[in-house]
Structure 1
């Protein structure tokens, strides 16, 4: 008996592939694999498909190849490149907190003046002044550190102009630190009782100068 010829089973291909095969319009990079049912991308897809690199979109380059003008990047892409703390609104946090601290310092100074009088509410004003002192010092310290951070990260263009503002702020912190240390000796030392209000008054006067210098640095 003659041997039967082994015929390979014809691979199924999509309709477009067969039509393009007849017309001879297949490209060099066309797929030679049979259609899997999802389509063979009209014979132009390579197998295996090339990996797409993560990163910037290639849409502008493709448009340039086709003769179309490339679109500019959106605003969202520019915003994503900005630092976390960037923004004009954040730059106003330091002056607002500074004004609150100066107002609180003026109130503490008024309590200190009333505590030295011979009126009936002197003891009450003295207790309030002593209780408000640590909170006031902490608020001034945070304001001083916030000013450093604002100039360093938000408004570095005013770094040269802010040298005097920083020097006055450091002098205020020095006066408040000395006054806080002397407040522990007020009850047993006359000198501390005399120097403490002078340091507080000096710090309050420097705060007025600090406001004038800070207004010139606002964005």
Structure 2
């Protein structure tokens, strides 16, 4: 039986409180193992060993490897974006630049493998395809939408198709992940200056 099929064999007792302090170390371990072994090579046992947790502890929280990768990628993207603390410099371009994550080579590898893991989740379980997309790029799309709306509202740009434009950079990052190419600051700036800002200036 595979990790995706195994369910928790030791359910928590009724009334027992879940220790949420274990969640973050397990999700961090998930990303580390995913970066090293890829989605196919990642197992719940490897994640549990890296986190210093029991196998049952992981399964009490996430019923399958796919669920665990979704949770880890969601935490990564939400932590990076921080929708409740978006930059507000008065300039759309400066806001987006401030939003870019400054990655080391190791960080970039973790994010790339997390994206690839999400794509694998979507491929093996169509029910999770939408959830995988939301986990990896949902917060980034929403952040772009908010920053664009602010810029239009203050008159920096004319009314534009914000819902479509907000998806461009995140979706192009997915495309890079498919090709296993690094998602660099330079790549994002090229899209911002060459595609997004000209489209916003042109309006509808």
Could you state the TM-score of these two structures normalised by the residue count of structure 2?
0.29
Higher helix share: 2
Output the TM-score relative to the length of structure 1. 0.28
